[in-house]
A and B are shown apart, each in its own frame.
Chain A
């Protein structure tokens, strides 16, 4: 097990380096804006452009730029400086992580709390009104774009422009250790909005998994043993049906920890996703690299966690 984890971690490092390389390459190949020209203003002299290029290191061939970036990253854990405002990428991104983590984890709790029970209920109450209603709602939930849902929820419930002013919806994020109440109040709507489509997907996934599992022979065995139905469903059925959900949950969480761009944008939550979005628009490669690295690290890490966890959940899987 330990060897497995160590090997996977080493591979992860290789993967992350590759990801930085790929990001770099995409920037070189695709026609993004020229950062030096952007920085130089609208009517720059060639001398200023040259000087800015030099300052940003853009006068060197791209592979030299990449090598220098990588060297600073590996040797000094230095993420470089923004092309746009010269601020340290590390200092730009790291303070934004609490917001993204809060959003992702809170949203995950909400969607699990809704999606899993609804999925179980729909599977158990198959063919009834409950199932039809739940799956209909799930379809709506999956189809509703986060963007639209976010705006609707803001118009309905935010304290500034809502019809029923209940939550501090936009731009009120505060870190929980600074102001716990505001943290909570500012995140409730985003959590729900973020969770809606996930809850719907998880409910459907849980339902189909459980229906499949309830057809398994060992469920018949459990019933033949005389277990109460509740125990049959929860201990025997759900226990199996939830296993694949752990996998997608890990991946979803990993992806979200790289930034939930739409939710962060609608609710103005200062997280990683929005930083990435802004940076891409401004062709701010160092910041993009930083956010990509954070996102990729989260995904890689959660993949590993899922794999390790899987060994505990499913005794048939061993490393």
Chain B
């Protein structure tokens, strides 16, 4: 009973933080606002931890229903929150990493005019994200889905005086919405098919359906389209690199750890539906692995520190979807968890670098920061090692599990994913070496000001580094003798799917051999990067130098943005102008204006009734009485 109440309270803390800060915006000092915001998220985190420990051995799921939200005939939706292992795991990530990022922002956004607004938006985001993962029906999840899209828009365009940033924010929101069309259609189809929108009902009914039915396949494809938009897969991924226009904590929180993982969460939540639609699963595998490889190739040639990390995020999301598509839902969630840790760490570290370099983001102008930013250096190194998949860091366990599943399921997918992982290691270490080693390439004024970040920024870095090191231990596979605690934890959620599929099994020797091959080749790649960028001190080409064809292709992101512009944006603009000139001006304006004119004419004509003559008024009164009486008696 108390647990149910706690479940209900968890989203309320950041919501009240948002309301408090937003309503009293101008009257609160900066330190007070930071305190309110951070403590709101901390409260949520503590409550989630309590919830986690209350789950104990038998792993019940807690339900909290506040009120009936919509009731219309047969259709009823209630505001009810669900806390089962999957959502509790997500909540821990959201509130835990969210809290660290809040603390970090207090240092990073220091002195900014919009400081209060920033924290209000951050709290609102945490609220919506919690609603997304805790919602016990599709509609509530959708509210959270849209809400995080909104907060993403607000935060990307945070420095709104810059038109470029506003365009990036609009792009993000619009691309999200394109995906949401699929999501909405999917939800509608779910209602038509199952007659209800709450998870227990839908999953109960779905588990009795046969595999491969058209209805389920359509539903799952439509839902996945929503995930494509939100989690930046091909073809709706171009908004994520542009979203780096927002402040770095925003990139860390929204575009690394939480919002972009909403798609992964949704697919994992609907695992029973997806397990019954093998066609969709294949589609997910294809899109996931293609995205992983594409983004990795683009990242190799980028020179902006945040853009590299953005493409890296897209690539890792592709790997997560690959895992989900292979039916290895736990692996996908596992990688999502570890990715949250080290990607947030990398982004915050990049923010620390940017902060120390007085706003410089181009890695061609960095270098040798090892001496000046020691804590950032060490934590960034840990993050890079984690993302490259080296043991015993977190990324190793999760990525390896995905690769093992891929090898057992689909060898081609394994090959491409392996290639993407190698590229990941390469470009991450390229980034690392160009930023931190070698000689300082910054100009004198910047060099003079380089300083390590304050403790509000470095402490979260340290905490996240610790998590990146130890985070993998929640999923130690059987081959090492571990019990894979995460698997056990999430088993109730994926029980239905586990019955439908046989898990891919590799023999222990095969798995160990695979691990050895992957780690070995990764180390070779890292050595290659070290050779290129440290020993030979090779630098990326400055602007204006002509590049080789392939290099130009990936530097310009395969010209995808330009293609979208030519193929979609310009025809749309043209169509809208045409419709405006024809339908709007000639048809609708005329109708609306003439309505107004009729009213004016009517008024002008009726005005003549008011002669001012009292006798006439009396006469009119008597006539009206006669008419009323006649109507009353004779009608």
- The answer to whether A and B assemble together is no
* A residues in contact (CB < 8 Å) with B: none
* B residues in contact (CB < 8 Å) with A: none
